[in-house]
């Protein structure tokens, strides 16, 4: 599952402009303090803590991303982390584990604009969400997408779509975020994230679809 996420992030990177690729490489090099071509768990956790991504700021999530299991992330794995954040890939509301594949979402909360309630297959099967969630209207992410398609969208997509930068406030993000004073290093990281976000939106526009 994690390999698929890495490949998806790589595809978006490959179709990005040379400017975005240069910014991405500079971002990776900023993370790589000792210039060994890899990002260690200490470097990763420090960055996630600074940015307020609390669910990602733990060694277990790092180990999920670390496909080789050597305690180091390569360039592709770091790109996958950004893709996970921007595509809204969820963490299970019951066990707090990252969900790399199929998951179940409360369709009632999804439809009324409430905060998403997503659970992994195991917690869905065990009913682990029931103590804290009153609804029992769950659908897997593929079925939910098909239901939305069949329901029909009253507002047809326009022929021109504006590129949207990262919002200043991400209170509704799946991965929590908090505003902290930014170091020069954090500011450079944020600029790169904005640049890659624009590239992904541009790629989506070219393909006449939107994933984020």
pLDDT tens, position by position, 136-181: 899 999 999 898 888 775 545 443 333 333 333 333 344 444 445 5
Confidence of residue 183 (pLDDT cuts 50, 70, 90): low
Topology of domain 2-88+175-206, CATH = Recoverin; domain 1 (1.10.238)
- pLDDT at 119 (0 to 100): 96
Say if residue 29's pLDDT is above 90. no
Q: How far is CA 83 from CA 8, 76, 100, in A?
A: 8, 11, 12
Please tell me the distance from the alpha carbon of residue 27 to that of residue 195, in angstroms, as a whole number: 11
- pLDDT at 190 (0 to 100): 58
Tell me the pLDDT tens digit for each residue of 77-119: 998 888 888 788 999 999 999 999 999 999 999 888 778 899 9
Residue 138 parent element (H or E):
strand 138-140
Domain with CATH 1.10.238 in the chain: 2-88+175-206
In this structure, what token pair is assigned to residue 52?
Answer: 């307020």
């Amino acid at each position: 599952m994690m390999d698929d996420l890495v490949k998806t992030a790589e595809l978006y990177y490959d179709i990005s402009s040379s400017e975005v690729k240069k910014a991405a490489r500079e971002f990776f090099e900023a993370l790589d303090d000792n210039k060994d071509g890899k990002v260690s768990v200490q470097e990763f956790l420090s960055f996630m803590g600074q940015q307020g991504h609390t669910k990602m700021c733990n060694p277990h999530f790092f180990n999920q991303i670390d496909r080789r299991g050597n305690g180091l992330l390569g360039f592709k794995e770091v790109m996958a982390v950004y893709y996970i954040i921007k595509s809204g890939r969820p963490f299970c509301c019951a066990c707090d584990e990252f969900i790399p594949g199929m998951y179940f979402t409360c369709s009632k909360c999804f439809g009324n604009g409430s905060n998403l309630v997503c659970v992994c297959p195991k917690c869905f099967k065990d009913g682990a969400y029931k103590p804290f969630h009153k609804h029992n209207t769950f659908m897997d992410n593929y079925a939910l997408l098909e239901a939305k398609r069949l329901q029909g969208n009253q507002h047809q997509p326009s022929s021109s779509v504006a590129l949207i930068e990262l919002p200043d406030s991400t209170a509704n993000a799946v991965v929590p975020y908090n505003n902290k004073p930014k170091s020069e290093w954090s500011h450079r990281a944020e600029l790169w994230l904005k640049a890659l976000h624009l590239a992904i939106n541009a790629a989506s526009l070219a393909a006449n679809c939107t994933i984020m």
